[in-house]
């Protein structure tokens, strides 16, 4: 009884799994090697559609301009980068739903742009808009 | 059936017959995990001094990565590319992974005009705000 049972086992159930295991292991190693667990981190910036109204016509909008020599202008005065956050926070306090736009002029550096965007996000704006630079 | 097998192991297979099934289960689960998580990111492969930002947060599914270095050259997939080719490369990458979002790595000294041009080129393909890669200042 037991003997017949073993024989039947050997005939149908005992498939040699070794080749499949080889393949599966090679696939596993391939995917482990290829998987790059790199996570990019950064700040989000929105490019408004060019057919929208230019933001300066919108009365309730905070606009910061970065000039070509990395000066930061806001409400017609030049301000220091460290003062950007406080100024935006002050404007946001009156109307928390204001949109925020940072405009750059040709020659500004990405570092200044990121710093302004960062300050705005720190102050609590929902979205940093960065429209295309005007071509001269 | 169960009694038959255990009897067989007792008198015959005490040495060679290891039950591989649990290991196979584990291996398959690992395999499926790595297949699912692999996203095949093409890294720009250029050294960039990123700006620091306090509000740095993870770029959600940001796997299409362009880099713009301090002189305004655009890099993608370890090659410098002309700005005109950026659209076609971005389109191909977007077709391969429709849910992927765009990331731009910009140097602190990168002129914003170069960044703006690149953003203008890939803007039609974007369905989420651009993620400008930064280092966490915290």
Q: What tens-digit pLDDT sequence spans chain A (136 residues)?
A: 444 555 555 556 677 888 888 888 888 888 887 776 667 888 888 888 776 555 555 567 888 999 989 899 988 899 998 899 999 999 888 888 888 899 999 889 989 999 999 999 989 888 889 888 876 5
Contact B31 A122 (CB under 8 A): no
B123 plus B57 within the same structural domain: yes
Residue B42 covered by a domain:
no
Q: How many separate domains does chain B show?
A: 2
Residue B44 covered by a domain:
no
B9 plus B56 within the same structural domain: no
CATH for B77: 3.30.420.270
- Picking from A36, A45, A66, the nearest residue to B129 by CB comes out as A45
Q: List the end-to-end C-alpha distance of chain A, in Å, as a whole number.
A: 95
Predicted pLDDT of residue A72: 92
Residue B43 covered by a domain:
no
Closest chain A residue by Cα to residue B65: A40
pTM to 2 decimals? 0.72
Residue B104 covered by a domain:
yes
Closest chain B residue by Cα to residue A85: B54
B33 plus B60 within the same structural domain: no
Contact A133 B111 (CB under 8 A): no
- B residues 71-90 lying closer than 8 A (beta carbon) to A: none
Predicted pLDDT of residue A66: 92
B30 plus B95 within the same structural domain: no
Dihedrals phi, psi of B121, to nearest 5 degrees: -70, -45
B27 plus B74 within the same structural domain: no
Residues in chain B: 138
Q: Which residues of chain B have pLDDT under 70?
A: 1-15, 39
Contact B120 A2 (CB under 8 A): no
B62 plus B95 within the same structural domain: yes
User: Distances from the Cα of B29 to the Cαs of A97, B24, B35, B36, in angstroms?
Assistant: 47, 8, 10, 11
B84 plus B128 within the same structural domain: yes
Residue B47 covered by a domain:
no
Predicted pLDDT of residue A136: 59
B82 plus B119 within the same structural domain: yes
Residue B119 covered by a domain:
yes
What's the ipTM? Answer: 0.72
Residue B109 covered by a domain:
yes
- A residues 20-59 lying closer than 8 A (beta carbon) to B: 21, 24-25, 27-28, 31-32, 34-47
Predicted pLDDT of residue B9: 42
* Pair B43, B126: CB distance under 8 Å: no
Residue B33 covered by a domain:
yes
Contact B27 A21 (CB under 8 A): yes
B13 plus B60 within the same structural domain: no
- Name the residue range of residue B9's domain: 2-37
For residue A91, give every residue at least 6 positions away whose Cβ sits within 8 Å of its Cβ, in sequence order, or none.
A62, A98
Extract the tokens encoding A48.
Answer: 């408004």
Contact B58 A117 (CB under 8 A): no
pLDDT in tens, A7-36: 555 556 677 888 888 888 888 888 887 776
For the beta sheet containing B62-68, the strands, ordered from the edge strand earlier in sequence to the opposite edge, are B57-58, A41-45, B130-133, B101-106, B62-68, B74-76, B79-81
* Contacts with A44 from chain B: Cβ below 8 Å: 57, 59, 128-132
B130 plus B85 within the same structural domain: yes
B63 plus B6 within the same structural domain: no
User: Distances from the Cα of A23 to the Cαs of A17, A28, A87, A134, B18, in angstroms?
Assistant: 10, 9, 62, 57, 19
A103: helix, strand or coil: strand
Distance CA B107, CA A55 (A): 27
B59 plus B124 within the same structural domain: yes
Closest chain A residue by Cα to residue B109: A109
Distance CA B1, CA B12 (A): 16
């Amino acid at each position: 009884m037991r003997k017949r049972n073993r024989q039947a086992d050997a005939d149908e159930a005992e498939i040699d799994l070794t080749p499949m295991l080889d393949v599966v292991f090679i696939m596993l190693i391939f995917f482990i090697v290829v998987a790059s667990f790199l996570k990019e981190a950064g700040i989000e910036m929105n490019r408004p559609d060019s057919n929208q109204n230019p933001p300066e016509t919108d009365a309730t909008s905070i606009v910061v301009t970065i000039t070509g020599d990395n000066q930061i202008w806001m409400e017609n005065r030049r301000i220091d980068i460290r003062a950007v956050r406080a100024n935006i926070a002050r404007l946001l306090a009156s109307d928390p739903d204001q949109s925020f736009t940072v405009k750059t002029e040709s020659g500004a550096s990405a570092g200044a742009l990121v710093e302004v965007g960062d300050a705005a996000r720190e102050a609590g704006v929902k979205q940093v808009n960065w429209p295309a630079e005007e071509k001269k | 059936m169960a009694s038959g097998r255990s009897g067989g192991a007792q008198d015959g297979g005490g040495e060679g017959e290891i039950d591989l099934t649990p290991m196979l289960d584990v291996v398959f689960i690992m395999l499926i995990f790595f297949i699912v998580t692999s996203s095949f990111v093409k890294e720009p492969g250029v050294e960039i001094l990123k700006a620091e930002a306090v509000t740095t947060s993870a770029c959600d599914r940001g796997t299409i990565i362009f880099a713009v270095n301090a002189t305004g050259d655009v890099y993608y997939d370890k090659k410098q590319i002309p700005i005109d080719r950026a659209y076609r490369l971005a389109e191909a990458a977007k077709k391969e992974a429709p849910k992927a979002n765009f990331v731009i790595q910009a140097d602190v000294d990168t002129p914003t005009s170069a960044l703006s041009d690149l953003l203008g080129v890939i803007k039609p393909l974007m369905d989420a705000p651009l993620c400008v890669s930064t280092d966490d200042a915290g």
